[in-house]
Amino acid sequence: MNRNIVTCIVLTIITCGIYGIYWFIVLTDDVARLTDDKNSVSGGVAFLLSLVTCGIYSFFWAYQMGKKIYIYGKDKNQMISDNSFLYVILQIFGLGIVNYALMQNDLNNLIDNK
């Protein structure tokens, strides 16, 4: 679950986004596993929903991921800011990889302080 963000970004660029798809999927699954959310959509399904809806689902996904990370951090008494709206704004401007990096950073911090 604890990933090097720079390595992930470089791999995403080198593989022309293919690693970014993998990162999206495992990031979604990692947050669901960490928060013990049994009702959440798996990473693969979230990716397919994003494809089928031409990216519209990714806005909902970004918001939900931000909320889940924030609530988990709050429950564990860790200082994680609620970046839900920031993630949606970045997604609107096509900066999904920045979302992945920010989410991964928050997850890494939560895991390190667990």
Exposure pattern of 89-111 as b/e (b: 16+ CB <10 Å)?
ebbeeeebbebbbbbbebbebbe
Which has the closest alpha carbon to 24: 87, 89, 111?
Answer: 87
Q: Which two tokens stand for residue 26?
A: 């495992």
Q: Which two tokens stand for residue 86?
A: 């920031």
Distance in angstroms (rounded) separating the CA atoms of residues 114 and 111: 5
> What pLDDT sits at residue 105?
95
> What pLDDT sits at residue 114?
67
Domain spans of the chain? 5-112
Check if the beta carbon of residue 108 is closer than 8 Å to that of residue 2: yes
> What pLDDT sits at residue 38?
84
> What pLDDT sits at residue 65?
96
Q: Return mean pLDDT, the chain.
A: 94
pLDDT category, 113, cuts 50, 70, 90? confident
What's the whole-model pTM score?
0.93
> What pLDDT sits at residue 112?
85
- % of the chain surpassing 90 pLDDT: 82
Side chain identity, residue 58:
S
**Tens-digit pLDDT profile for residues 15-57:** 999 999 999 999 999 999 999 988 889 999 999 999 999 999 9
